[in-house]
Structure 1
Amino acid sequence: MTKIVDVGTRLVHIEPETLRTDAAQTFVRQETILVTVRTDDGLSGTGYSYTIGTGGSSVLALIRDHLAATVLGEDARNVEAVWARMLAATRATAFGVLTSLALAAVDTALWDLRCLRAGEPLWRLAGGAHPSLPVYDTEGGWLHLTQEELVENTTAAQRAGLRGAKLKVGKPTAVEDAERLAAVREAVGPRFELMVDANQSLTGAEAIRRARTFEPLDIAWFEEPLPAEDVAGHVRLARATTVPVAVGESMYSAGHFAEYLSAGAAGIVQADVARVGGITPWLKIAHAAEAFNVKVAPHFLMELHTSLACAVPAGMYVEHIPQLGAITHSALHIEDGHVIPPEAPGLGIEWDEDAVEGRRAA
């Protein structure tokens, strides 16, 4: 039998390894929601999702008060059916970020179970499209850093063999952003990819203006230039610039991605498995992007997205932001600027239970 008999939940606080700022916020801490699903055949799988700074306890409550009872007694092998059942049980609050985060924590645990039962790693069971993918760095590009620090951090990433770096934009004036980017481009040369991220901070008109200053610098993509609900603004921007427009980290359903793709508003899809409700909907989004001939470069969660991006044909890049080092024994395997997905059965994350308990919220 594979009946779900227990759903355990924990909330764990992880402090960032370095100060992280962008045009919208400062990364205070990662509130990590861990879910362990056990079945009557003795197997267990662990999944997770996260919030930045606030809301973790609300996600935890939704799982404890509603989702856990919904999935008890269900067959853990029927991942699609269980996901649909959870969505139906939370229809009054879906689609939205808290519900998506709760669904994701349970769904990733079910996928961990699925892979463990099959004896296969996630990247292969979910598709097995790429044995590795290039990695780009975000950790050295935060908005509070000086121009000199940006140059130093980006050249260090280049020397380390990474294939690109993302820099935060959204300074008070376009000139400031352009000067910082130009200094970095001069330092790394034309063959190193540079991406920029405005974290939804700009108006449509200002995004078009700044995109034009980015074009001579051969920027790989312009990420989250506008609020995610402004689909029409993204359409106008995409038509006005040669810089690909990247969106996705603040979108919480497959339907929202479909709206962007069908409107031509997304040049690169950055679906975040935690924020879209788990691996089950993430794969749908990735395959929809493939159908529109659009690449996928997931947001954050590199410990999960390495396997998922390598699973699908549209996989393009993996973002490097250290996230789970404080509570895991496992680490990403990077060679020659490419990340190699874990071969161990399951999600490929080895949790440090002592560290998890030591950071567990009351």
Structure 2
Amino acid sequence: MALIARIEIHMVPLVPRTKRTDAIQSFVCQETVILRVHDVDGAVGTGYAYTIGTGGSSIMRLLADHLAPRLIGRDADEIERLWTDLKFHTHATTVGAITALALAAIDTALWDLRARRAGLPLWKLAGGAKDRAPLYTTEGGWLHLDPQALIDDALEAKRLGFGGAKVKIGKPRAREDVSRLEKLRAALGDDFEILTDCNQVFTVDEAIRRAHMLEPLGLGWIEEPLPADDLDGHIRLNRATSIPVAVGESIYSLRHFREYMQKGACSIIQVDVARIGGITPWLKVAHVAEAFNMPVCPHFLMELHVSLTCAVPNGRWVEYIPQLDEITTSRLKIENGMAVAPSAPGLGIDWDWDAINALSIETMDILMGAA
């Protein structure tokens, strides 16, 4: 029995090295919430979650005031029980992003602790379907970049063996998006996937119109074309276009994913381990997607998602966006364009605690026996 003796929480703001813009926003700061679970035997598991600039302090308070104290003295091996208890404790704020992100920080730490105590890498502990997965890059596909910059980045990714590149779309005029992608396809040829991301900017009619204009380009998917809560709109779009519709980064519940799959509103699942509430619900979504014969291509968090993508048989892609370089000493291992699952026990992320302590703008400790 691994009784929890201490919870340690850090808030670390990270500014992306690359300018990141899409159709609705700029990604200027990643608020990284890092949580460590210490058991009475001295073993430690580390988890994390993130925002893109808003809400980090709320996650910290939810963890410190309401969730972490409920873990003290509990058995860290009872991950499913703990996740369910914490979810019901916060029933008034679920389903929602802040609560899901707080749960994810705890849940990923508990899985890391379990894997470390078992001496297994996460991808094996969670399923062990394969030891590597194809990579696509997003880091050179931002909306502000000119077509030649998109081409140069995608050609370099292709040279390195990556299987695809994602490009943000949502220019004011549809023809601008089409022109950029036509130039990209002409430069890359037909043996490289071009993926597109709309970041929820379109109305239903505009999404259908643009999808029809883009169909001749053989795109791998059109991602988040509509607001994530517009289930009916996604059903209409999915029926209207041959381009696969991808959703998931802004869906926070297993049952919402089930509705999308069951009602034919998508064909690619992009579940985000932080936004769904952790590894425990992530695996459930992935297995439901397998039942619907749909691939899982998770959003962001490549350092963690490589292990989860490799854990399940329907994990298809890992998204390349480096985000933890400032606070880790490990790097995603890439061989011939494939992301290789870490072999070390746990999540496979080597945290740089000197850097984390130096960059933390807030730190909290919850201890066994504290008043």
Q: TM class by shorter-chain length?
A: over 0.9
**Residue 84 of structure 2 aligns with which residue?**
84
Q: Structure 2 unaligned runs (5+)?
A: 363-371
Report matched runs for 1:287-306 at 5 Å: 287-306=287-306
**Residue 136 of structure 1 aligns with which residue?**
136
Distance between the aligned counterparts of 1:117 and 1:152, measured in 2?
45
**Residue 285 of structure 2 aligns with which residue?**
285
AA in 2 matched with 1:74:
R
- Structure 1 runs of 4+ aligned residues shifted over 4 Å read none
CA contact (8 A) 1:17 1:322 kept: no
Offset at 1:155? 1.1
Offset at 1:130? 1.4
**Residue 340 of structure 1 aligns with which residue?**
340
Q: What SS does the corresponding residue of 1:243 show, helix, strand or coil? A: coil
Q: Deviations over 1:17-49 (max 9, x none)?
A: 110000011001100000001111211100000
Q: Deviations over 1:49-107 (max 9, x none)?
A: 00001111110110000001111111000100010111011111011000000000000
- TM-score w.r.t. the length of structure 1 is 0.99
Does residue 47 (structure 1) correspond to residue 47 (structure 2)? The answer is yes
AA in 1 matched with 2:282:
W
Q: Which has the higher contact order (CA 8 A, sep 6+)?
A: 2
CA contact (8 A) 1:211 1:241 kept: yes
Q: What SS does the corresponding residue of 1:140 show, helix, strand or coil? A: coil
Distance between the aligned counterparts of 1:275 and 1:23, measured in 2?
20
Distance between the aligned counterparts of 1:148 and 1:361, measured in 2?
39
Q: What SS does the corresponding residue of 1:194 show, helix, strand or coil? A: strand
Q: What SS does the corresponding residue of 1:178 show, helix, strand or coil? A: helix
Count of aligned pairs: 362
CA contact (8 A) 1:248 1:270 kept: yes
Report matched runs for 1:205-354 at 5 Å: 205-354=205-354
CA contact (8 A) 1:70 1:85 kept: no
**Residue 360 of structure 1 aligns with which residue?**
360
**Aligned residues: percent identity?**
57
Distance between the aligned counterparts of 1:130 and 1:307, measured in 2?
9
Distance between the aligned counterparts of 1:218 and 1:358, measured in 2?
47
* More divergent stretch after superposition (222-231 vs 205-214): 205-214
Report matched runs for 1:160-175 at 5 Å: 160-175=160-175
- TM-score w.r.t. the length of structure 2 is 0.97
Offset at 1:324? 0.3
**Residue 73 of structure 2 aligns with which residue?**
73
Distance between the aligned counterparts of 2:41 and 2:358, measured in 1?
29
What do you get for the CA RMSD once the two structures are aligned?
Answer: 0.7
Report matched runs for 1:1-150 at 5 Å: 1-150=1-150
AA in 1 matched with 2:123:
W
AA in 1 matched with 2:194:
L
AA in 2 matched with 1:253:
S
